[in-house]
């Protein structure tokens, strides 16, 4: 292979250093996903795909971001679960290639569906149990107070559920 290498000064082009702009965009997303409570690697992957004009395979992410294969694999899996990243068929290459989803509305919808909905559901289950508990509370002022507080939580929960779909329409 030595001879072929000589013909190509940068045999592994996918490992090229990131440009200043690329670093900036990736960094922007690293901060952004931290707000959502996701790990840095998620921001790096999405950011890299976002600045890249072509779909990229896992290898390239590993090389250019200097990230382990494990992180890249898990990160892509996670991003796919809520449609932030799509697999794109590349003719003549059997590796999967990925691009970033660019519609803010879809990204939001995926986030709400995968991250928020399940927690709201879980919260409602808990509230159901709490509500049941309040029935056994004493009939004095403290008991009455606590019953009211649990009711307030139920109103909050219901309100949150109503607001969620509205968020999507705000981004229309």
Partner DNA sequence: GATTTTGTTCAAGAAAAAATGAACAAAATA
Partner DNA sequence: TATTTTGTTCATTTTTTCTTGAACAAAATC
Q: How many CA atoms lie within 13 A of 63 on its CB side?
A: 12
Under a CB-based contact definition with an 8 Å cutoff, are residues 42 and 67 in contact? no
How far is residue 128's CA from residue 139's CA, in Å, rounded to a whole number?
Answer: 20
Looking at residues 45 to 104 of the shown chain, list those that interact with a second copy (rule: CB under 8 A). Answer: 50-51, 53, 102, 104
Q: Is 152 a binder of DNA (CB under 7 A)? A: no
Q: For a second copy, how many residues bind (rule: CB under 8 A)?
A: 41
Q: Which residues pair with 86 in a beta bridge?
A: 99
123: contact with a second copy by CB under 8 A:
yes
Residue 25 within binding range of DNA, rule CB under 7 A: no
122 binds, among DNA, a second copy, none (CB under 5 to 8 A by kind): a second copy
Residue from 64, 50, 65 nearest 102 by CA: 50
Residue 127 binds a second copy, judged by CB under 8 A: yes
Give the footprint of DNA on residues 83-122 (CB under 7 A): 93-96
**Stretch touching a second copy by CB under 8 A, among 57-65, 66-74, 82-90, 116-124:** 116-124
Distance CA 135, CA 20 (A): 62
């Amino acid at each position: 292979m030595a001879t072929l290498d000589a013909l190509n000064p940068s045999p592994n082009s996918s490992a090229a250093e990131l440009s200043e702009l690329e670093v900036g965009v990736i960094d922007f997303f690293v901060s952004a996903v931290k707000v959502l409570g996701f790990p840095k690697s998620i921001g790096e992957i999405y950011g890299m795909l976002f600045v890249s004009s072509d779909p990229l395979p896992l290898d390239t992410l590993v090389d250019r971001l200097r990230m382990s294969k494990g992180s890249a694999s898990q990160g892509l899996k996670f991003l796919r679960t809520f449609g932030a990243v799509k697999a794109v068929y590349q003719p003549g290459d059997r590796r999967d290639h990925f691009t970033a989803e660019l519609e803010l509305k879809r990204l939001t919808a995926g986030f709400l569906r995968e991250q928020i909905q399940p927690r709201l559901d879980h919260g409602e289950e808990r509230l159901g149990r709490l509500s049941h508990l309040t029935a056994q509370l004493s009939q004095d002022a403290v008991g009455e107070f606590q019953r009211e507080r649990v009711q307030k939580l139920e109103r909050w929960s219901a309100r949150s559920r109503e607001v969620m779909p509205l968020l999507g329409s705000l981004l229309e």
